[in-house]
């Protein structure tokens, strides 16, 4: 499985677990276009925090090193990397690739 597919699977699982834990939230099913932030998102702000933290935790476990998604770059990018599932997954891929590179240096 390539890294994009694996990250998608991890986030999909995190999202499904979250929906199962809070069925009263009536969240939409997972798609790559799932809005996470902004007016189109069905997530409450605390739901969003929980999802990102859980995703971070799963990534840290999978890649056996600390992964922090909320870094300076995440805050400085003109388009938020947390806007949709696909942008978050793409951002996570870049963070992991960079931590791979720093491990090698």
Partner 1 sequence: MSDARRIVLVTGARKGIGRSLAEKFLAQGDFVIGCSRQPFEGETAGYEHHCLDVSDEQAVTELFHHIRTKHGRLDILINNAAIGLMNHSLLSPISAVRQLFDTNVIGTFLFSQEAAKLMMPTRRGRIVNFSSIVVPLSLEGEAAYAASKSAIETLTKTMSLELASYGITVNAIGPTPVATDLISGVTQKQIQKILDRQGIKRLAKMEDIYNVVHFFVSDESDFVTGQVVYLGGVS
The answer to whether 55 touches 14, Cβ cutoff 8 Å, is yes
Torsion of CA 11, 13, 18, 24, to 10 degrees: 120
For the CB of residue 46, give the shortest distance to partner 1 in the complex, in Å.
6
**The binder of partner 1 chosen from 61, 77, 98, 100 (CB under 8 A):** 61
Q: Does 25 bind partner 1 (CB under 8 A)?
A: no
Backbone torsions φ then ψ of 103, nearest 5 degrees? -65, -30
The span from the CA of 103 to the CA of 42, in Å, is: 37
Q: Does 42 bind partner 1 (CB under 8 A)?
A: no
Q: Does 23 bind partner 1 (CB under 8 A)?
A: no
Binding residues for partner 1 (CB under 8 A)? 46, 50, 53-54, 56-57, 60-61, 65-66, 68
């Amino acid at each position: 499985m390539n890294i994009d597919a694996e990250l998608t699977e991890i986030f999909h699982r995190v999202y499904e677990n979250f929906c199962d834990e809070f069925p009263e939230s009536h969240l939409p099913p997972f798609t790559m276009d799932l809005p996470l932030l902004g007016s189109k998102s069905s997530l409450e702000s605390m739901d969003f925090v929980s999802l990102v933290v859980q995703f971070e935790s799963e990534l840290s476990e999978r890649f056996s090193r600390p992964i922090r998604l909320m870094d300076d770059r995440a805050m400085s990018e003109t388009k938020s990397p947390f806007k949709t599932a696909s942008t978050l997954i793409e951002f996570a891929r870049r963070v992991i690739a960079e931590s791979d590179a720093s491990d090698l240096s």
